[in-house]
């Protein structure tokens, strides 16, 4: 999706002048309240207060924040601030990460109810199959890492009957096959289009669900 010229200019102004991002609070109050300027300045997925948030669209984050429950279990393809965000809201989070250094750094910052496992992309389908290899079913599977289309079959296999799949950047043409696979498996789709932390262009996060989904959809 196209870059927002106003936000690109606003960010460039902040870089050049060093002004506080509250200057733009009256112009783009929603993005200021979401913490977009702070996330862009710090190059981290954080909210206005500096707390970690997922690298999803803000509408999707708000939807999830209102509906996730403390008894849910989550599997993530891809890890980071989102892992910390989920861990503060649900019973258990398991993430798979292709970058060994990133996984090692994140592992030292995770609470007891979260874990991250390094699985390289090379050498077979270990990464794509990671969700199904856990020996348990999950309420939510997040597809926001590498090799996303190939992760879809394992995500479906690892999902509880009422589970949902959160698939980021579904506006990208290379992920259309993943959407087709999920539709063929009987999933419905809700799209959340909007800005995301650090980025100055709109993107799309989609939530796939079947009847009586665990998020009340």
In this structure, are residues 81 and 46 in contact, taking their beta carbons and an 8 Å threshold?
yes
In this structure, are residues 96 and 119 in contact, taking their beta carbons and an 8 Å threshold?
yes
Domain coordinates in residue numbering, the chain = 5-42, 58-209
In this structure, are residues 145 and 151 in contact, taking their beta carbons and an 8 Å threshold?
yes
Task: State the pLDDT at residue 137.
Answer: 98
Condensed to tens digits (0 to 9), the pLDDT of residues 5-15 reads 555 555 555 55
Task: State the pLDDT at residue 16.
Answer: 47
Q: Is residue 92 pLDDT above 90, yes or no?
A: yes
Interatomic CA distance for residues 168 and 155, integer angstroms = 14
In this structure, are residues 143 and 166 in contact, taking their beta carbons and an 8 Å threshold?
yes
Task: State the pLDDT at residue 195.
Answer: 94
Q: Is residue 170 pLDDT above 90, yes or no?
A: yes
Pick the range with the lowest mean pLDDT from 5-9, 91-95, 102-106, 120-124: 5-9
Pick the range with the lowest mean pLDDT from 76-80, 100-104, 120-124: 120-124
Q: Which CATH superfamily is domain 58-209 in?
A: Vaccinia Virus protein VP39 (3.40.50.150)
Closest of 169, 196, 198, 195 to residue 44, by C-alpha: 198
Which two structure tokens, joined as six digits, stand for 116?
């991250």
Share of the chain above pLDDT 70, in %: 87
3-state secondary structure of 204: strand
Confidence of residue 30 (pLDDT cuts 50, 70, 90): confident
Q: Is residue 3 pLDDT above 60, yes or no?
A: no
């Amino acid at each position: 999706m196209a870059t927002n010229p106003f936000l690109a200019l606003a960010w460039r102004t902040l870089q050049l002048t060093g002004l506080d991002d509250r200057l733009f609070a009256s112009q783009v109050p929603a993005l200021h309240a979401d913490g977009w300027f702070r996330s862009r300045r710090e190059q981290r997925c954080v909210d206005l207060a500096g707390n970690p948030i997922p690298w999803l669209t803000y509408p999707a984050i708000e939807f999830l924040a209102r509906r996730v429950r403390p008894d849910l279990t989550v599997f993530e393809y891809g890890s980071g601030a989102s892992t910390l965000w989920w861990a503060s809201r649900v019973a258990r989070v398991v993430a798979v990460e292709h970058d060994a250094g990133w996984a090692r750094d994140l592992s030292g910052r995770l609470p007891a109810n979260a874990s991250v496992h390094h699985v390289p992309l090379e050498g077979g389908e270990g990464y794509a199959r990671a969700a199904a290899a856990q020996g348990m079913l999950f309420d939510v599977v997040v597809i926001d890492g590498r090799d996303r289309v190939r992760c879809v079959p394992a995500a479906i296999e690892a999902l509880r009957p009422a589970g949902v799949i959160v698939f980021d950047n579904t506006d990208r043409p290379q992920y259309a096959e993943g959407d087709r696979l999920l539709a063929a498996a009987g999933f419905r789709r809700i799209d959340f289009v909007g800005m995301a932390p650090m980025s100055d262009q709109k993107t799309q996060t989609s939530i796939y669900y079947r009847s009586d989904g665990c998020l009340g959809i």
